[in-house]
Structure 1
Amino acid sequence: MANRIKEKYLARKKYFDYPMLFLVIFLILFGMVMIFSTSSYKSTITYGNPYHWLIRQAAAVVIGAVFMIAFCKIDYRVFKHLFFARGCYGLSIALLVIVLAIGAAKKGSVRWISIGGFQFQPSEFAKILLVMYLAYTLSRNAGKMRSFWDTLKVLLKCVPVIGLVAYQNLSTALVICAITGVMVFVVSPKTKELIGVALGMVGVLVAYLAFSSSYRNERLQIWLHPESHEKGLQTMQALYAIGSGGIFGKGLGQSMQKMGFVPESHNDMIFSIICEELGLFGAICLILVFMALIWRMLLIAMNAEDLFGSLIAIGFMTHIAVQVFINIAVVTNTIPPTGIPLPFISYGGSSILAIMAEMGIVLSISKRIRL
């Protein structure tokens, strides 16, 4: 009798992934500490205030916390409607078209929309919108995707979004391609064909980098010969920072390379300063924290109440995993240089807002898991 009552209680008991929430909070706080450490010198020189970039990031984190709590409170199943899915698809295209029409230029690229002095990067939010659209489409048509053509039709619907992003930001388009590919791969039975398409796309990308515009070909040359290329300074300085950190680092705030030697030290190249200040030990610990977060998201995806929630968790998990891999690979010169921020850690309001919103949705999915 007691066992039966216990079983009924456990069957009704709701779950909440507190380990994931702890990991998210830790990464956000650690990111703010590292942003202050890496930006304080340059911020003092440029603005006469060591807290300039820290304050801006803190403001974005506060807004992101509101988004994360709101999405966590909302039952994710309210998004499981055709109207919402089509709205996500249409809104993502509309935002990306607006960028091309009236976007604000920054560092030679038009990737931002400026409203009343506030700038945001629509491509970051396009990732969320596309994941929600794909989750609905794939969950509704999972049983119908029997042929490769059925799978290809879903992929082709994503081409306009990927194309608009790639026009100005190839690296972000690659992340979106990875998210799309993994989500479709999970549902489609045509795994061999999808692997073939993925390998073909990698070959096309390599050829494109090698033989397309001089700008992208130059990046390939920087990757191959950073020590001799005239624009290989950033890569070499990042490698110097990693090497000089040793096993346990120079100590928090003691980096020399952040003092103007490593460009974007508080942004895309922040991992090199982490290695310099906290050493190999600190870098490995950070990677393990990311791996733990990805594992928690995978567990939520595996135990989600429905396929819709599972696909959302998989999409956002892929987003985090791919960006972490690309950022660290670029900093260590494992792949050609490209501009991808390190999730939770790199400076960037749009990035942290989008990621915290994603984490709120995943936590909402975890709340529907029954023990």
Structure 2
Amino acid sequence: MAEKVNMPSQKKEKKKKRKKKLPSDFYDYNLLACTILLVSFGLIMLYSASAYEAASTFKGNDMYYFTHQAGFSAGALVLAIVLSRRVDYHKPWFYWMAAFIYWGSIALMAAVKFTPLGYEAYGARRWLRISGFSMQPAELGKIGIIMYLPCIILKMGKNMRTIRAKLFILFLGMIQLGAAWKLTDNLSTGIILGLLACVILFLADPDVKKYLIGLPIVLVIAAVVYVVLKNNLQIFETANGGFRANRVYEWLSGGSYQILQGLYAIGSGGFKGKGLGNSTQKITTIPEAQNDMIFSIICEELGIFGALLVLLLFGYLLYRLFVIAQNAPDAYGMLLTSGVFAHVSIQVILNICVVLNLIPATGITLPFISYGGTSVAFMIIEIGIALCVSRFIVFRDGQNAEQGETAEEQ
């Protein structure tokens, strides 16, 4: 009789152990749906913004930019879904892959500068071209930062609280920044890489007091530099600073031709816009309207109302990333998703600030919408990494674990 009495309690203990080990059935379909919606909207606006230029440049093929972007987007979406469904980011090979991507991206950036594979377009040598396929290695560096730095941070453990460890993480970020700047002449992407390293470092040791001490100092220095340059524009006339100095000069002087035309487009769109496809500024007035200035075309054709809807979509996508990071089962999953969150938010903020003439022109694209096959593909793959983390989330009430146990018994 004693054995019969103890058997139910033993079964309950085994069930509890199994509940802890079972993976979750959770998958953030909302994040996936929001990503697909943004990509689809981006393709529509890309065709609208680029049809005229494509037809005049590529012998009447008005869908040239659209078909290239659609191909990259579709392939990246399939890869992201497979990645999120099949890959376990806890496996050791995932950490080796993170190191391979980080250092491999630097090697590819070096190939851009020092080998014939480097390809120059729009006055800059930033692309690799192999068998007709081109890519920007600096974009791969963003995934390398997001995947590799959390590995190093977790390996350091409690030592991350030391100044030496933090400087080492910043050094790894600065390596990517310097590689993007000096090897591919892409300072704007380098700045994003440096900011990603700073965000990941802050999340690894979120002692707000330490960072708040330096923030006022940075703001004061930035304000002083702005006032000095604003009142001494002749510095740019006498100095040979290249196109970056020209961009700063144009910004301090009131805006470049491209930015001013973009502001005219935003103003002429009003609240409701002129209607999809009815933009006039995109017809030779705004150079490369399908790239970093596409937000101004959205405002002109769909109005402020349409622009707000786009911002709401980005806001919801960032909210879903925040939910995944907050409920991630481990520190690595949290840092991975937070890196994706930081990347999307930084690019959206910087792109819109450029369009509104709040900062100098940078050439940073609007995620999922601007033309750029490498950029949109790697951004979608980052969403796939976040979805991979979401698959391992277990609700605190144990509901998902119970569902998994039932499925296993059946």
Task: Give me the TM-score of the superposition, normalised by structure 2.
Answer: 0.82
Residue 67 in structure 1 maps to residue 67 in structure 2: no
Aligned to 1:150: 165
Once the two structures are TM-superposed, the CA of residue 148 in structure 1 deviates from its matched residue by 2.4
Question: Are the counterparts in 1 of residues 177 and 187 from structure 2 also a CA contact under 8 Å?
Answer: no
Q: Determine the C-alpha separation between the residues in 2 that align with 1:84 and 1:42.
A: 40
Do the aligned partners of 2:173 and 2:193 also contact (CA within 8 Å) in 1?
A: no
1:261 match: 285
In the alignment, does 2:381 pair up with 1:328?
no
Q: Does 1:219 align with 2:232?
A: no
Paired residue secondary structure (1:111): strand
Structure 1 residues 43 and 82: alpha-carbon distance in aligned structure 2, compared to 1, 3 A threshold: closer
- Specify whether residues 263 and 146 from structure 1 end up closer, same or farther in structure 2 by C-alpha distance, changes over 3 A only: same
Alignment partners' CA distance in 1, 2:111 and 2:218: 28
Contact 1:142–1:187 (8 Å) recurs in 2: no
Residue equivalent to 1:178: 195
Question: What residue is the counterpart of 2:61 in the other structure?
Answer: 49
> Shift in Å at residue 108 of structure 1?
1.3
CA drift of 1:58 comes to 1.0
Deviation at 1:190? 4.7
For the Cα contact (< 8 Å) 1:80–1:308, is it kept in 2?
Answer: no
1:206-244 deviation digits (Å, cap 9, x = unpaired): 9699678242222112112236xxxx2101100000000
How many residues are paired up? 362
Alpha-carbon offset, residue 162 of structure 1:
1.3
The match for 1:29 is 40
- CA-to-aligned-CA distance 1:159-200 (integer Å, 9 cap, x gap): 222111122111111111111111100112554444566777
Q: Supply the distance in 1 between the matched residues of 2:97 and 2:81 (Cα, whole angstroms).
A: 21
Counterpart amino acid of residue 91 in structure 1: G
Q: Structure 2 CA distance, aligned partners of 1:53 and 1:84?
A: 32
1:357 is matched with which residue?
381
Distance 1:64 1:285 in 2: 24
Could you tell me which of 71, 80, 103 is aligned with 1:90? 103
Structure 2 stretches of 5 or more lacking a match? 1-11, 230-234, 396-410
Per the alignment, do residues 205 and 110 of structure 1 end up closer, same or farther by CA in structure 2, a change over 3 Å counting?
farther
Give the structure 2 partner of residue 141 of structure 1: 156
Measured on the aligned residues, the alpha-carbon RMSD in Å equals 2.6
Pair 1:152–1:205, CA change in 2 (3 A):
farther
Q: TM-score, normalised by structure 1?
A: 0.90
Q: Does 1:15 align with 2:32?
A: no
Q: Partners in 1 of 2:187 and 2:161 — Cα distance?
A: 32
Q: Which amino acid aligns with 1:278?
A: L
In the alignment, is residue 101 of structure 1 matched against residue 114 of structure 2? yes
Unpaired segments of 5 or more residues in structure 1? none
Q: Is the 8 A contact 1:71 1:364 kept in 2?
A: yes
Flag the 1:134–1:226 CA change in 2: closer, same or farther, 3 A.
same
Q: Give deviations 1:7-37, integer Å, cap 9, x for gaps.
A: 9899865211111111001000000000010
Q: Structure 1 197/114 Cα, relative in aligned 2: closer, same or farther at 3 Å?
A: farther
Q: 1:245 aligns with which of 266, 269, 276?
A: 269
Instruction: Tell me by how many angstroms 1:139 deviates.
Output: 2.3
Q: 1:79 to 1:127 in 2, by over 3 A?
A: farther
Q: In the alignment, residue 125 of structure 1 is paired with which amino acid?
A: L
Bigger shift: 205-214 or 259-268? 205-214
Say if 2:136 is the partner of 1:118. Answer: no
Cα contact 1:226–1:235 (8 A) shared by 2: no
Q: Secondary structure at the match of 1:172?
A: helix
CA contact (8 A) 1:79 1:85 kept: no
**Secondary structure at the counterpart of residue 128 of structure 2:** strand
Q: 1:63: Cα distance to partner?
A: 1.7
> Which secondary structure state, in structure 2, belongs to the residue aligned with residue 162 of structure 1?
helix
Does the aligned pair in 2 maintain the 1:251–1:277 contact within 8 Å? yes
Identity %: 38
**C-alpha distance in structure 1 between counterparts of 2:200 and 2:354, whole Å:** 25
Query: How many angstroms apart in 1 are the aligned matches of 2:101 and 2:157?
Result: 20
Q: Which amino acid aligns with 2:321?
A: M
Instruction: Answer whether contact 2:99 2:144 (CA < 8 A) is retained.
Output: no
Structure 2 counterpart SS, 1:112? strand
Question: Equivalents in 2 of 1:89, 1:119: separation in Å?
Answer: 19
Shift of 1:61: 1.2
Question: What corresponds to 2:394 in structure 1?
Answer: 370
1:162 corresponds to: 177
Match of residue 330 from structure 2: 306
**Residue 147 (structure 1) shift:** 2.5
- Name which of structure 1's ranges 13-22 and 296-305 shifts more when overlaid on structure 2: 13-22
